Amino acid sequence: MAVPQPTADRCHDKKYKLFKMLGEYLDLCIRISVVVFCANFIERLCSVSIEYIFYKKYYLPEDRLSTIIRRACTYNVNTIWLAIMLLLLGFARFGSTGNLKNLLPNHVYLACMPLYWVFSFAQLSYRPLGYAHWIRGTHGLDYAAGMASNYFHGYLKLALPERNDDGLKKRMQVYEDTHSINFATDRLIILIPDDMFVKGIIVSDLLEKAEPLETTFINRAGVNRPFKHAVYRLKRQINGTTYYFAMEGATPMLSFFEAMNSQSSTSWQMREMKREIWLKFAKHLKELTSSWPETEHEVELFIYNSRNLNGESADVGELLFAHFEARLGNKKQLN
């Protein structure tokens, strides 16, 4: 008759088997990770060769090879941290077992490297969501950031700041004194609707186009360019006062809207990501205007949905009235 093993010994055996299984699992993960990193490194070396042979015209001759190697073999921060963690885990396992053979992949594992290249070629991780994540990044290489940068550096940064006793605020002050009116804000309002379409003349039952601000001329790349800003009168009074706005639509967004409706200049990716592009444009433009001292108090971005909850076109005049009624009403109460 077998003598039952004491309970304490059985618990010890279970813990031993559990830790053994965990250790074997970690060893397996390390071996697979080594195979993946090796396959990835070989793939990068192949891409260096392909780039150097077939796409050399995209690089300057004096630093062609170094640039290709840097672009092909640079790892991001997450990958570097993962490699460090796996390295530390490998040292820890080797320190506890003293067996290096269990950590290194054998020929069976190495023979699976082509499977990694097949998955990579098939872009197994591809998904349109990746485009959205890339647009949301801070690299500045996407279409939205490019439009915002060009709009800021080529227009807003030139036309708005005070230079030689002339700037947006000075022209608005002269306009107020000349026409005996009041602006609701001393900033240029830039309309950025989510459908990205703004007509040449902003249409609203509550807005009436008035005489524009004085045109200013600024030399840009040898061309004396005129810069002008439209002015609109709000037909409905706020606190008994009729207010005016220096206001215009974001022209890059209108250009993007037109490109979206052209078969030769659009793609399904652009149509799929149009809202991402709209949001990134607004976000990046706000960052640019608020981070530059000469424009941080010159622009007010008015970002809004072009349709209301009922699916009807939103009246931008109504939206402006509600926005500034709340702001000016609160300001009056504080005073």
Mean pLDDT of 144-173: 92
pLDDT of residue 64: 93
pLDDT tens string 16-73: 788 889 989 999 999 999 999 999 999 999 999 999 999 999 999 899 999 999 999 9
Q: Is residue 133 part of a domain?
A: no
Q: Are residues 179 and 284 in the same domain?
A: yes
Q: Is residue 246 part of a domain?
A: yes
The boundaries of the domain holding residue 173 are 143-334
CA dihedral 115, 119, 122, 123 (to 10 degrees): -160
Q: Is residue 117 part of a domain?
A: yes
Percent of the chain with pLDDT over 90: 66
Q: Is residue 257 part of a domain?
A: yes
Please, are residues 324 and 238 in contact by the beta-carbon 8 Å criterion? yes
The domain total for the chain is 2
Mean pLDDT of 237-246: 95
pLDDT tens string 242-295: 999 999 999 999 999 999 888 888 888 888 999 999 999 999 999 999 999 999
Q: Is residue 135 part of a domain?
A: no
Please, are residues 246 and 176 in contact by the beta-carbon 8 Å criterion? no
Q: Which residue has the higher pLDDT, 109 or 7?
A: 109
Residue 110, C-beta contacts closer than 8 angstroms, at least 6 positions apart: 35, 38
pLDDT tens string 206-231: 999 999 999 988 888 888 889 999 99
Q: Is residue 134 part of a domain?
A: no
Q: Which residue, of 126, 159, 184, is where some domain finishes?
A: 126
pLDDT of residue 5: 54
Tell me, what DSSP letter sits at residue 56? Answer: G
